[in-house]
Amino acid sequence: NSGRPTVLVTHHRNYCTECDWSASTERHSRYEVGRRAIAHFRDTHHTIESEPVPELGGT
């Protein structure tokens, strides 16, 4: 390792760009996060985005 921290993706987060709704694989399975995102879109027609949430590992 070159002394830089290793980035490990530990979970993903889906979130709404129009309100404070979000769901994460930190608390739910990927299937459940996807299901919740679809339900939120269906109910509100809000835009949902997804992002990996990194956790810094050791050097």
At residue 2, the 3 state secondary structure works out as coil
Query: Does a structural domain hold residue 48?
Result: yes
- CB 5 within 8 Å of CB 46: no
- CB 46 within 8 Å of CB 10: no
pLDDT at position 58, please?
47
pLDDT at position 13, please?
94
- CB 33 within 8 Å of CB 10: no
Query: Does a structural domain hold residue 4?
Result: no
Domain that holds residue 52: 11-56
The H or E element containing residue 5 is: none
Q: For the chain (length 59 residues), average pLDDT per consecutive 10?
A: 64 95 93 96 98 67
Query: Does a structural domain hold residue 42?
Result: yes
24 beta partners: 13
Looking at the structure of the chain, the number of domains it has is 1
Query: Does a structural domain hold residue 3?
Result: no
- Single-letter code of the amino acid located at 23: A
Rounded to two decimals, the pTM is 0.72
pLDDT at position 57, please?
57
